[in-house]
Chain A
Amino acid sequence: SHIYKKNHDVTKTWKGKTEQLLRVDDHDFTMRPAFGGPAIPVGVDVQVESLDSISEVDMDFTMTLYLRHYWKDERLSFPSTTNKSMTFDGRLVKKIWVPDVFFVHSKRSFIHDTTTDNIMLRVFPDGHVLYSMRITVTAMCNMDFSRFPLDSQTCSLELESFTSHHVSLMLYWKNGNESLKTDEKISLSQFLIQKFHTTSRLAFYSSTGWYNRLYINFTLHRHIFFFLLQTYFPATLMVMLSWVSFWIDRRAVPARVSLGITTVLTMSTIITGVNASMPRVSYIKAVDIYLWVSFVFVFLSVLEYAAVNYLTTVQEWKEKKRRERFPCMCGIPHSKTMVLDGNYSESDANSLAGYTRNQMVAEEEKQEKMVVHLAMINESNSSRKRGLKGHVGLRIIQNTHAIDKYSRLIFPGTYIFFNLIYWSVFS
């Protein structure tokens, strides 16, 4: 067995084991250094490797970090000429005292163990110890979604000793605010990570006393672009599509109704889609406000057409009653039922097109005769039409078109106004 004094290979010169070097056998790992004396200060240093995920539904976040502890244990000091530290295998940790730091409000956490436990133990000759491990922890974060998705969330990871309160163990950030470092590439797809900073405080437990608690705080700003593309744009387009209905002729009943009802359906689908990925909170979110107001607009466009349609029918009845006062040689009852297949049945022809006669079977010949008769009537009618019904007809056109005309201006104007208010309040 050679002794290579040049590179000072301890495994060759030192026949003993680490346990003897660090006097592990005499070391009682259940007792902290300076047991019975003043509190032992333990410095903490954190390097955040990544923020793996933020979950809104579970209201938690997952972070991977390197956690380093620094303390002085004189029982572990050893003689050394070079004053260099010695790095030991992680399995030695089981035999010495280490601080029992845990993460308050954590749901799941583990120390990575591939290929071996990711633990580092480095001891300096004077007994200073550097103890480092790589941990992934999932911790709770209370999130407030009242401004979702234009919100910012502030989360924090809290470190505390489980057993030793402030009298026995003093936990502190080793380099103050510089103790917290992050990898350069740390980024999330949905959030902008604003800042990491550290704070420390005391936490009180009624049964066990005061404990030092260290906080890793960070603020996350949500990127709104995804929600603009996914939710706001489709909702706006659906509302605009519902306005198309005001420009279509009011006589096209199936067209306007199906347009209105399909936009309502699409809005409903968008609303359901947003809520699928959200926790069920008891207050209203910013995105809910936008979607529900848009839904109300679309809904109102359907109601508007129902009103237009109803008023047209009412006018039709009035016309029928007025006409019944005058004798009609044709003796053909002019039915005025409005057929639900979308045809107007003002059976005496008016300026408006699109009439249907119901229950008129085998009336062809009569129709021709009617032509003759009605020609006379029509002439009288026409004069009256020009006088009275013409006015009524024109008024009818004007009346319903008035509602449509107003709607063409009111709906877009109100919606733009709502948008201005919404974006100025929440941005």
Chain B
Amino acid sequence: REIKMRKLDSTKVRPEQLLRIEDHDFALRPGFGGSPIPVGIDVQVESIDSISEVDMDFTMTLYLRHYWKDERLSFRSNKNKSMTFDGRLIKKIWVPDVFFVHSKRSFIHDTTVENVMLRVYPDGNVLFSLRITVSAMCFMDFSRFPLDTQNCSLELESYAYNEDDLMLYWKHGNKSLSTDEHISLSQFFIEEFSASSGLAFYSSTGWYNRLFINFALRRHIFFFVLQSYFPAMLMVMLSWVSFWIDRRAVPARVSLGITTVLTMSTIMTGVSASMPQVSYIKAVDVYLWISFLFVFLSVIEYAAVNYLTTIEERKQLKKRGKASGMYSIDAVQAMAFDGCFHDTDVDMDLPAFSDRCEENETRAHAASVSNVDTTRIKRKRSLKGNVGRMILQNNHVIDTYSRIIFPSVYIVFNLFYWGLYI
């Protein structure tokens, strides 16, 4: 007996002999022809590797453990301790064929050897553990992106054996699912892991037990606030700067408006690049398009201002044409087109324009201080003054209103948006 015991513990006894592998038919499940064999499942999630919005899937690495009883594998032992065998032995015994429903790619890690553990207890209980990485589908709803929460689940099922042959169940109920402490994602907050089970029906093959690993992911919004919302907000605010610039500075206001439109367009293209092409509008789309609308409207507003200025100018010139005398151009209009400020009214005979604004101003100051100023002042007060004031008042009205209306409407929109989605 002592010799036998020593032989049992030594490597001279081959596992095949110990477990009677030669007689073991791996094609037949334990209890073949009889009642279904219960197989307990235990999962430890090692990590969630990635969540892909474009492919609508997630990648998870987990330890998957099966527990079942196969009396063909029982062996005699005094100490009632289990024996651990090399993973390559599983090719010769029956194992449950659990697969991941809706998985796209999966593999059992095989460095340095196949990550498979087989542990057999003397009474025939078997513990079979694998380390697997699986990419599975997760249907995502982006209508509240990036303020959304996604619910994903990994589903386990036996491929061949329906509920008459194999009964899959969570070994410890809800506690069968455990996770590493450091499990975390950069973009998401993992809300909860839960285990559930159900039955699935296939018309050609019957009912199957299905186990679910459910988890909920809440997206961290900080990245999108920094990447999309802030730039969009800043662009809208920048477009409001145009209302405070003098309406006579045409190139300035036009290029300010058009460049903010261009930047908004670039921001919008950038967001859509990393997103799946869904057929509904997302929360971030709503924000970006309304901001784009604001920026667009600021350009239209200046076109209106400019057009009205031109009309006034024409009226004024017609008026002046009838009253003889010098044609004088109101500095308000006259300076607009070269973008230089003119303090003085420009008489047509008095070229106060020049290539450079500084020269212009010095010349204006030098030349016109004594003479033109008085005449200008007089005339301003008399005729052009009224017209000028009228023009100033008219267009500044649109600008003045815009300075208040645009920001307040945008703030109201922001209150609505964030109140609705958060």
Does A181 lie within 8 Å of B32, measured CB to CB?
no
Does B254 lie within 8 Å of A258, measured CB to CB?
yes
Does A116 lie within 8 Å of B337, measured CB to CB?
no
Measured between C-beta atoms, what is the minimum distance from A169 to chain B in Å? 21
Does B313 lie within 8 Å of A11, measured CB to CB?
no
In the assembly, what is the distance between CA of A4 and CA of B139, in Å?
47
Closest to A174 in B: B204
Does B285 lie within 8 Å of A229, measured CB to CB?
yes
A185 at the interface (CB under 8 A from B): yes
Q: Which of A160-168, A243-251, A302-310 contacts B (4 or more CB under 8 A)?
A: A243-251
A266 at the interface (CB under 8 A from B): yes
Does B351 lie within 8 Å of A357, measured CB to CB?
yes
Does B351 lie within 8 Å of A342, measured CB to CB?
no
Does B347 lie within 8 Å of A371, measured CB to CB?
yes
A422 at the interface (CB under 8 A from B): no
Does A11 lie within 8 Å of B72, measured CB to CB?
yes
A384 at the interface (CB under 8 A from B): no
Does B137 lie within 8 Å of A50, measured CB to CB?
yes
**What DSSP secondary structure best describes chain B's contact surface?**
mixed
In the assembly, what is the distance between CA of A378 and CA of B326, in Å?
7
Assess A354 versus B203: contact at CB under 8 Å? Given A10-B33, A189-B278, A374-B349.
no
Q: Which of B132, B321, B347, B350 contacts A115 (CB 8 A)?
A: B132
Does B337 lie within 8 Å of A252, measured CB to CB?
yes
Closest to B253 in A: A255
Assess A17 versus B353: contact at CB under 8 Å? Given A229-B281, A342-B251.
no
Q: Which of B56, B161, B251, B350 contacts A371 (CB 8 A)?
A: B350
Count of chain B residues near A, Cβ 8 A: 108
Q: Which residues of B contact A190 (CB under 8 A)?
A: 276-279
Q: Which residues of B contact A53 (CB under 8 A)?
A: 55
Q: Which residues of A contact B101 (CB under 8 A)?
A: 49
Does B303 lie within 8 Å of A87, measured CB to CB?
no
Does A114 lie within 8 Å of B100, measured CB to CB?
yes
Q: Which of B94, B99, B259 contacts A262 (CB 8 A)?
A: B259
Does B354 lie within 8 Å of A86, measured CB to CB?
no
Assess A17 versus B139: contact at CB under 8 Å? Given A244-B299, A353-B333.
no
Binary interface profile of B, 77-108, with partner A (CB < 8 Å = 1, else 0)?
A: 00000000000000100111111111111111
Does A248 lie within 8 Å of B367, measured CB to CB?
no
Assess A249 versus B251: contact at CB under 8 Å? Given A87-B165, A226-B278.
no
Binary interface profile of B, 294-322, with partner A (CB < 8 Å = 1, else 0)?
A: 00100110011011011001100100010
Q: Which of A328-385 contact B (CB under 8 A)?
A: 339, 341-345, 347-358, 360, 364, 367-368, 370-371, 374-375, 378-379, 382, 385
In the assembly, what is the distance between CA of A9 and CA of B103, in Å?
34
Q: Which of A25-33, A88-96, A201-209, A319-327 contacts B (4 or more CB under 8 A)?
A: A88-96
Does B204 lie within 8 Å of A45, measured CB to CB?
yes
Closest to A386 in B: B321
In the assembly, what is the distance between CA of A9 and CA of B25, in Å?
14
Q: Which residues of B contact A252 (CB under 8 A)?
A: 250-251, 254, 306, 336-337
Q: Which of B269, B296, B307 contacts A247 (CB 8 A)?
A: B307
A121 at the interface (CB under 8 A from B): yes
Q: Which residues of B contact A234 (CB under 8 A)?
A: 265, 268
Does A355 lie within 8 Å of B353, measured CB to CB?
yes
Does B104 lie within 8 Å of A115, measured CB to CB?
no
Binary interface profile of A, 260-285, with partner B (CB < 8 Å = 1, else 0)?
A: 00110110011001000000000000
A177 at the interface (CB under 8 A from B): no
A414 at the interface (CB under 8 A from B): no
Does A255 lie within 8 Å of B251, measured CB to CB?
yes
Q: Which of B95, B103, B281, B321 contacts A351 (CB 8 A)?
A: B321
B280 at the interface (CB under 8 A from A): yes
Does A353 lie within 8 Å of B346, measured CB to CB?
yes
A199 at the interface (CB under 8 A from B): no
Measured between C-beta atoms, what is the minimum distance from B301 to chain A in Å? 10
Does A354 lie within 8 Å of B334, measured CB to CB?
yes
Q: Which residues of A contact B313 (CB under 8 A)?
A: 353
In the assembly, what is the distance between CA of A161 and CA of B32, in Å?
33
Measured between C-beta atoms, what is the minimum distance from A123 to chain B in Å? 10
Q: Which of B101-117 contact A (CB under 8 A)?
A: 101-108
In the assembly, what is the distance between CA of A259 and CA of B338, in Å?
16
In the assembly, what is the distance between CA of A390 and CA of B255, in Å?
33
A195 at the interface (CB under 8 A from B): no
Closest to B22 in A: A17
Measured between C-beta atoms, what is the minimum distance from A410 to chain B in Å? 18
B272 at the interface (CB under 8 A from A): yes
Binary interface profile of A, 138-161, with partner B (CB < 8 Å = 1, else 0)?
A: 000000000000000000000000
B45 at the interface (CB under 8 A from A): no
In the assembly, what is the distance between CA of A226 and CA of B277, in Å?
6
Does A134 lie within 8 Å of B159, measured CB to CB?
yes
Q: Which residues of B contact A229 (CB under 8 A)?
A: 272, 281, 285, 289
Q: Which residues of B contact A251 (CB under 8 A)?
A: 336-337
Does B265 lie within 8 Å of A115, measured CB to CB?
no
In the assembly, what is the distance between CA of A47 and CA of B350, in Å?
88
A419 at the interface (CB under 8 A from B): no
Does B160 lie within 8 Å of A90, measured CB to CB?
yes
Binary interface profile of B, 25-69, with partner A (CB < 8 Å = 1, else 0)?
A: 111111111110000000000000000000110000000100000
Does B349 lie within 8 Å of A375, measured CB to CB?
yes
Measured between C-beta atoms, what is the minimum distance from A394 to chain B in Å? 9
A120 at the interface (CB under 8 A from B): yes
In the assembly, what is the distance between CA of A23 and CA of B143, in Å?
59
Measured between C-beta atoms, what is the minimum distance from B364 to chain A in Å? 10
In the assembly, what is the distance between CA of A12 and CA of B29, in Å?
11
Q: Which residues of A contact B309 (CB under 8 A)?
A: 249
In the assembly, what is the distance between CA of A50 and CA of B102, in Å?
7
Binary interface profile of A, 12-42, with partner B (CB < 8 Å = 1, else 0)?
A: 1011111100000000000000000000000
Q: Give the top 5 A-B pairs by smallest Cβ distance, nearest first.
A: A349-B348, A223-B279, A7-B34, A120-B160, A10-B33
Q: List 21 A-B contacts (CB under 8 A).
A: A9-B31, A50-B137, A91-B27, A115-B98, A132-B205, A134-B99, A185-B139, A244-B303, A248-B306, A249-B310, A258-B254, A258-B258, A266-B265, A269-B266, A270-B265, A344-B337, A345-B353, A349-B327, A354-B334, A354-B336, A367-B350
Q: A18-B28, A263-B258, A349-B348 are in contact. List 20 more A-B contacts (CB 8 A).
A: A17-B25, A17-B28, A52-B104, A53-B55, A88-B28, A89-B26, A114-B108, A115-B97, A118-B97, A130-B204, A226-B278, A229-B272, A254-B250, A258-B255, A339-B338, A353-B313, A355-B346, A356-B351, A382-B325, A390-B321
